A and B are shown apart, each in its own frame.
Chain A
Amino acid sequence: MATATTAERGRRLELQHVSKRFAREGQAALAAVNDVSLTVEPGELLTLLGPSGCGKTTTLRMVAGFEQPDAGRVYIGGDDVTELMVYRRSIGFVFQNYALFPHLTVFENVAYGLRVRRLPEARIRARVGQVLELVGLPGYERRFPNQLSGGEQQRVAVARAVVVEPALLLFDEPLSNLDAKLRVQMRAELSRLQRQLAITTVYVTHDQEEAMAISDRIAVMHRGSVAQVGTAEELYRAPRSAFVAQFIGRVNLVESRVLGATGGRVAVALWDGSLSVPGDGYATGQRLSLLLRPESLTLVPESAKAAEGEMVVPGVVRGRTFLGEKVEYAVEVGGALLQAVTYDPTRRGVVAIGARVGVMCDAAAVRLLAAEP
C-alpha cells in the first residue's frame, strides 16, 4: 500500500443505511445500530455522542472495519469500503485504553504502521521524529508504554494513529481514562492537532461537554439511531426531541398545549397562565412540551411583576448547589421541581432553601417541542 499523500487526507466519509445486530444467547438479536446514515465532510470532526449502549462505538467500529455491517454501505472518499478488511482502509484508530504495544518502545509503537508499509528506515526515523514533536513527546523514543503517564500514553496513541497519514482518524472515547483536568487539556490539544492535520475525524464520546468543545458537528445517537445531527449550538438551541434536549445541556420539560396560533406566534399554556412564544405550524389544542433551559429561568422577589414577554410565577426553593461562578437551584412550582441557574452569586446573592420566590420566564428563550408519538 502506498503511503497516503496530502491529497488523500481529508476524504469524505459516508455511511448509508448502516445496521448491525448482535446475536444474543437465547434472546432475540439486539439491534446495536439501526439504519444510520451520516456524512462527514473532508477535514471535518464529527462526534458521535450518546449514552452507553446507544450504538456509537459499534458505528465507529464499522467505519474502521472491526465490525461488518449487516446492511448498508460505508464509503471513504467515494470508494465503497464495506467489504474491505480493516488493514486496507487507511485509518488511524485511537482506542479508549490506547492499546499501545507493551513490548515495543515509544519509537517502535509509532513506527509500527510505517514498518508494516515497508518504508525505508531513514523515512521512518524522520516521520516518527516529526510526529513525536507534533504531540509534544520528543526524547521519549526509547521508553516503554508502562513507563509513561496516562496523558503521555494518550499522545503516543495519537502519534501512532496519525503518523501513517490516514484518510480517516477515529477516536473511541480517547479521554475517558484521564483525570478531569488533563481531559480538558488533552481535548484542546486533540482539537488543535486535528485542525492542523485536517484529517477527517470521527470521535466517539458520552461526554456532552467534550463533544461540544471539540466538534465541528455532533451526531446525537439514541438506541442505535441518529437522533439529530448539527453543530453544538444548533443542538442546544433547537433540539428536535426531548432526548436531544435532555442530553445536550440541562433542561426543564413542561407539558403544555396550544391555546392559539397567529402569524408566527403561538400562545401556550404555562402554569395556569398563557405565554406567547415564536413558533409556526401549530394548531390550537395541540399537545406539546415547553423547553425551558435553567439559565432562562431567573429567581426574582415573590412580589416582582412580569414585564412584556415575560411571566412570573411563585415558587419555593427546595434545593441549592453553590458552584462558585453560579448557583443551581431546585425550585418547586405548581408541584413540580424546576432547575434554575443564577450566575455571579457574589454580586447577585444566594437565595436560602425554603424561601418563597418568583420564577421569571423569558418568552424569547422558550422552545416548543411537538409531543412525541
Chain B
Amino acid sequence: MRRDPVIAPAVVLIWGAVALFVLYPLGRLLLLTFWNGGPSLDAVRGLLGDWTHRAALVNSLLLAALVGIAGTVLGFAFALLAVRANLPRWSGRALDAVVLLPLISPPFTAAIALIFALGPRGLISYHVFGLTRVNIYGLWGTLLSETLTYFPIAYLTLKAVLANVDANLEDSAFSLGARRWRVFRTVTLPLTTPGVANAFLLVSAASLADFATPLILGGTRFPVLPTQAFLQITGLYDMRGGAALCFLLLVPALAVFAGQRWFTERRGGSFVTVTGKVGAATRVKSLSPAAVLGLAVVCGLVVALVLVCYLLIFAASIVRGLGADNSLSLAHYGHVFSGGLKAVRDTLLIAVICMPVGGLFAVVLGFLVSRTEFPGRRALEFAAMMNYALPGTIVGIAYLVAFNDPPLALTGTAFILVVCYVFRYSLAGTRATSAVLAQIDPSIEEASASLGARRDVTFRRVVLPLIRPALLAGMTVLFIRAMTAISATIFLVSLDWSLVTVRILEGITNLELGQASAFSMLVILLVYLAVAVASLAMRRLNAGSLGQAGTLLGG
C-alpha cells in the first residue's frame, strides 16, 4: 500500500536512530583506525608489528574454532538426547533448566567457578585429587569455560533443527531396510548439516566476542583481541590502537556473521520452522539403547559439572573465603546490599527502562521490515543487526570514540547505556516479531484496513495484540542482557552510573571472589525470576513456554 501517511515517518525515525547509534559510531571507529590527517594504515601496521597483538589475533581465531567445535559437538549430543531419546517429560525440562543457566548468567560465572574448582588450590583439582600442577589459566581453561558457557546456544539451535526433521523421511529409510546407524548417517545427519554449520558459527561468534572469560582465565600468556583492545584503552589510553584492534576483530566477526546468515537464509532456513514444535509426535527409533546410554553419560557429566560450578559460586557467596575459611557468613551479601546497592539499583533501573523502549523499537522494526515496503528496507534490516552481530568490545569502543566528546558527550550517562542495550539486544524481539508475523496472514491487516482503520490504528488494535508474545520475549531478553552484559558497557560506565557486572569484575580483580560470587548469585536469581515471570505470562498468552524464550536467547 503506497502513500501511507504513517509508515514514512516511522521509517524515517527508525532509520535516523539506526544511523546515529549504529552507523555513526562504527564510522567513527573506522575513521579513527584509517585516518590520521589523511588515509593511513599505520595503526593497523603498528599492531601487527607487536608480538602480543599478532598472538591475540591468532589466539582469537583458534579459540573461536575450538569452542565452536566443542560447543557444537556437545550441543548436538544434548539435542539428540532431548529430542530423540524419548526422555520422560520431567528430565527434558530439567535438562532445559540446567542448560539455560549459563545462557542467563552474568559473565565470569563459569570462569570464577572454574578457578574455585580447578585453580591452584582448587576444590576438585587439589582437595579431591591432590593435584598441584593443574593450570586453569591459558588456552585450555578458557576453552573449557567458554564451551560450558556457550554450548547451550548450539543445543537450542540443534534441538529445533532435529525436532523439525520430518520423521517420515527417517521412517522411509527404515522401511527400505536401513539400520539405525545408517539412517542417522545417511538421512538425519545430512538433513541437519546446515543447522550444525549454523550452530558452529553461532558458538564461534560468541567465543570470538567473549571478553569476560579470557580476561579472567587468559592471563598474559593467552591474549585475545577483545581483552587486548580493552587493555589498550583502559591501560594505555591508546584509543587509536584500541580502534585498530577492533578492526582486526571486526573482520573475522563479520565473516562469521555473513556465513551464519548465508546458512540460515539459503539452506538452514528450510529445515527450521518458526513454530518450534519441539518433540513432534514421532516415534523415532534412530537411537539404539546403547547410544542413548552413552549420550546420557556424557550429558550427565556436563550437567553435573555445570551444577558443581553454580554450587561453588553459591558456596563462595555464603562463606568467608571458599577453600581458606569455610565458616558460614553473610558478609558478602551484606556488602552487596550496602556498598553494592547503588550498582544493583542502577542496573535494575536501566534494565527496566530498556524493556519498553527496546521492546517497542523491536516490534516496530520487525513490523516495518516484514510487513511494509520502502526503499532501503533490506539495508535497514542489516544495519539494525550490526550492533548485535558485532562483538560488544567493538560496539563499546565505537561508542566511546563517537560519544565521548561534545556535541554528543554521552558516555557515563544512563542514556547511553540504555541506547547501547536497545540497539544491541532488540534483535531477539525483532526476530520474534517477524516470526509471529510470518504466521499471521496479511489479510488480517487488510481486513482492518477495509473496515476503515488507518495503518497506525491497525498496528495498535490488531498487530500489537497479536505480537504480544514477541514483545514479551523481546523485553525479557532485553532485561536479561541488561542485567548480564559487560563487554560493551564497561567502556560506558561512570561513577554516576555503575553496573553489577562491572562490580563483579572489580571483585575478581581485587581478589574478592566471595563478593563477586554474591553479586553473581543475585543477578542469577533476578534473571531466573524474570524468566519465570515471562514464561508464566507467555503461557497466559497461550503462545509458548520457556523453551521459546530460551530459543530466543540462544539466537
Contact = CB atoms under 8 A, between A and B. Distances in A.
> Which one of B4, B443, B447 has the greatest number of beta carbons of chain A within 10 Å?
B447
A66 B1 contact: yes
Contact of A99 (B2, B4, B446, B452): B446
Contacts of B466: 102-103
Interface string B445-457: 0111111111001
B452 A101 contact: no
A371 to B, nearest CB: 43
A170 B450 CA distance: 10
A61 to B, nearest CB: 8
B526 to A, nearest CB: 31
A116 B447 CA distance: 12
A192 interface: no
B376 interface: no
Contacts of B461: 112, 116
A105 B1 CA distance: 28
Given A86-B1, A103-B466, A117 B444 contact: no
Given A85-B4, A86-B1, A99 B444 contact: yes
B interface, how many residues as a size bin? 20 to 34
A15 interface: no
Contacts, number: 76
A164 B452 contact: yes
A103 B452 contact: no
B447 A117 contact: no
Contacts of B465: 103
B453 A116 contact: yes
Contacts of B4: 85
A284 B1 CA distance: 55
Contact of A87 (B444, B453, B462): B453
Interface in B1-18: 1-4
A101 B444 contact: yes
Provide the main secondary structure of the chain B interface: helix
Given A83-B3, A85-B1, A113 B446 contact: no
B446 A87 contact: no
A252 interface: no
A interface, how many residues as a size bin? 20 to 34
A1 interface: yes
A29 to B, nearest CB: 16
Interface string B425-469: 000000000000000010110111111111001000110011000
Contacts of B452: 1, 87-88, 90, 113, 116-117, 164
A100 B446 CA distance: 11
A158 B4 CA distance: 27
A145 to B, nearest CB: 10
A160 interface: yes
Nearest to B2: A68
Contacts of A101: 444, 447-448, 462
Interface string A262-295: 0000000000000000000000000000000000
Interface string A315-352: 00000000000000000000000000000000000000
Interface string B2-38: 1110000000000000000000000000000000000
A239 interface: no
A142 to B, nearest CB: 17
Given A97-B443, A102-B466, A86 B3 contact: no
Contacts of A64: 446, 450
A267 to B, nearest CB: 55
A103 to B, nearest CB: 5
Given A64-B446, A87-B449, A164-B452, 16 more contacts: A64-B450, A66-B446, A85-B1, A86-B1, A86-B449, A87-B452, A95-B446, A97-B441, A97-B443, A102-B444, A102-B466, A103-B465, A113-B453, A116-B451, A116-B452, A161-B451
What are the 5 A-B residue pairs with the smallest beta carbon separation, nearest first? A113-B451, A93-B450, A99-B443, A99-B447, A95-B443
Interface of A: 1, 64-66, 68, 83, 85-88, 90-93, 95-97, 99-103, 112-113, 116-117, 160-161, 164, 170
21 contacts: A64-B446, A65-B1, A65-B449, A68-B2, A83-B3, A85-B1, A85-B4, A85-B449, A87-B452, A88-B452, A90-B452, A95-B443, A95-B447, A96-B443, A99-B446, A101-B448, A102-B444, A112-B451, A116-B448, A116-B453, A164-B452
